[in-house]
Amino acid sequence: MGKTKFSKLLAVLLVLLLLLGQSHNFMALAEDTGSDEQVLFQDDFEYGASNWTVTSGGWSIVDADGSNQYEKDNDYSSSTVGFAVLDDYESPSGLSSRDWTDYSVEADITILHTQGTGPRIEISARFSANNIRYSFAITGSALQIRKRNTGERPLVQKPFTPELGKPYHVKGVLIGNKLEMWVDGVKELEVVDEDLFDEPAIESGTIALNTYLASARYDNVKVLALEESPEEPEPSMTDIELESLVIAEDEELENLINLTFKENMYSANIPFDIT
């Protein structure tokens, strides 16, 4: 291949790679741009806790490391449980929190103190009258997805030993009867509630912050509307390493660029004319 042909070929290749890169950047921007309409509720407690209705326990706004947080105290003399409910909140779309169905709820949680056996620190979802709810709980020795209807029990759990004073980012995901619990960005638990324990799946309701025999701080509470279960993102062009690049002159196809990426995810023969 002559020097002139090689220079033209190099130019073709650079343009091809530039186009691939620009295409990826555009797609990434589209994927990363969220819609405000998806946010049903968020609260960092910088303006107090007026959105919340306390039904049990002592709750107050405290300054923790220069940020307001919502704290359930460690006074268990009057009640072993603490509940702060987002009652009948109207989301930007006009939908009452009592009617929320498929959504994720997340918060930063710092456990301050536990007492006795079986302490729990929870975010509840699809919460309604008579404390019917699902909850995403950290106990003294486990992570749990719990259900309360006529009775209360864990649907699924796994061993976990929390540290006092350490903040955890906890997220619960509810799509239909599928539930997931994430901690610090890792999916730890999932379960499908197919009328487990002969009780129907809970279909809708608001959120609550609740504890049992525990004191904790909550911050950065957010609820997002969901339409389908979050899946792992598909690999993008920049996530895939180029394994081989073959430049050849073919008698039938004339000039040819063959691109092969690792794991055979992408392979292409690209004819070109540099005459």
User: What is the model's pLDDT at position 77?
Assistant: 86
Residue 86 lies in a domain: yes
**CATH number reported for the structural domain that contains residue 49 in this entry:** 2.60.120.560
Question: Each residue of 199-213: pLDDT tens digit?
Answer: 899 999 999 999 999
List beta partners, residue 145.
Answer: 136, 156
User: What is the model's pLDDT at position 195?
Assistant: 80
Residue 28 lies in a domain: no
Residue 221 lies in a domain: yes
Q: Which ranges of the chain does DSSP label H, i.e. alpha helix?
A: 3-32
* Number of structural domains found in the chain: 2
Residue 6 lies in a domain: no
Whole-prediction pTM? 0.71
Q: Are residues 186 and 78 in the same domain?
A: yes
**Residue 201 belongs to domain spanning:** 37-225
- Order of strands across the sheet that contains 242-250: 242-250, 254-261, 267-272
Indicate the SS3 state at residue 25.
Answer: helix
Q: Are residues 266 and 211 in the same domain?
A: no
Question: Each residue of 26-62: pLDDT tens digit?
Answer: 233 323 333 344 899 999 999 999 999 999 999 999 9
Mean pLDDT of the chain: 80
Residue 25 lies in a domain: no
How far apart, in whole angstroms, are the C-alpha atoms of residue 79 and residue 56? 7
Backbone angles phi, psi at 5, to 5 degrees: -60, -40
User: What is the model's pLDDT at position 246?
Assistant: 53
Q: Are residues 185 and 134 in the same domain?
A: yes
Question: Each residue of 156-200: pLDDT tens digit?
Answer: 999 999 999 999 999 999 999 999 999 999 999 999 998 877 889
